[in-house]
Structure 1
Amino acid sequence: MESVQNRRAIAVERIVWWSVQASLLIGIYYMYSQNNGTKVFMGFLTIGVMVAIALVQRRFQYPLPSIFASIVYGFVFFSVVVGTFGGGYKINHFDDFLHIFSGIWIGYASWLIFRRLIRNGGAANLPNSFIALYMICFSLASAAVWELMEFAGDKLFSFTAQGRDPDDTMIDMIMGLIGGSISAFVILKLRDRGKGKSELE
Structure 2
Amino acid sequence: MKGKDRWNDLFEFAMYVLAVGCFVYFLVKGNGAKMFQAVLIVAVLQLIRLIVKWTKTTMFTSLRFCVLLFIFVTMFLANEFGYYGVIPYLDKIEHLFSGVILCFIGLLIYSKASNHQEGAEPPSPHVAVWLCLFFSIAMAGVWEIYEFATDHLFGLDSQNGSLLDTMTDIICGTIGAILTACYLALKARNRSLPLVDIK
Measured against the shorter chain, the TM-score band is 0.7 to 0.9
Corresponding residue of 2:172? 175
Give yes or no for contact 1:9–1:66 (8 Å, CA) kept in 2.
yes
Match of 1:48, as an amino acid? A
User: Please, which moves more after superposition, 95-104 or 112-121?
Assistant: 112-121
Q: Which runs of 5+ in 2 are unaligned?
A: none
Percent identity among equivalent residues? 23
Deviation at 1:158, TM superposition (A): 6.2
Residues 153/80 of structure 1: CA separation in 2 closer, same or farther (3 Å cut): farther
Aligned equivalent of 1:148:
145
Deviation at 1:75, TM superposition (A): 0.3
Compute the TM-score of the two structures, normalised by the length of structure 1.
0.80
TM-score, with normalisation over the residues of structure 2? 0.80
Corresponding residue number in structure 2 for 1:78: 73
The answer to whether the aligner puts 1:113 opposite 2:109 as a matched pair is: yes
C-alpha displacement of 1:29: 4.2
Partner of 1:123: 123
| Matched residue count | 193
- Distance in 1 (CA, whole Å) between partners of 2:159 and 2:26 is 20
**How big is the shift at 1:146?**
1.9
CA offsets per residue over residues 144-165 of structure 1, 9 Å max, x none? 2222333455456665433222
Supply the AA of the counterpart residue of 2:173: G
1:49–1:152 distance in 2 versus 1, CA, 3 Å: farther
Q: How does 1:1-201 map to 2 (within 5 A)?
A: 5=1, 7-32=2-27, 35-57=30-52, 63-90=58-85, 91-119=87-115, 122-124=122-124, 128=126, 130-154=127-151, 160-194=157-191, 195-197=193-195, 200-201=198-199
Distance 2:154 2:148 in 1: 10
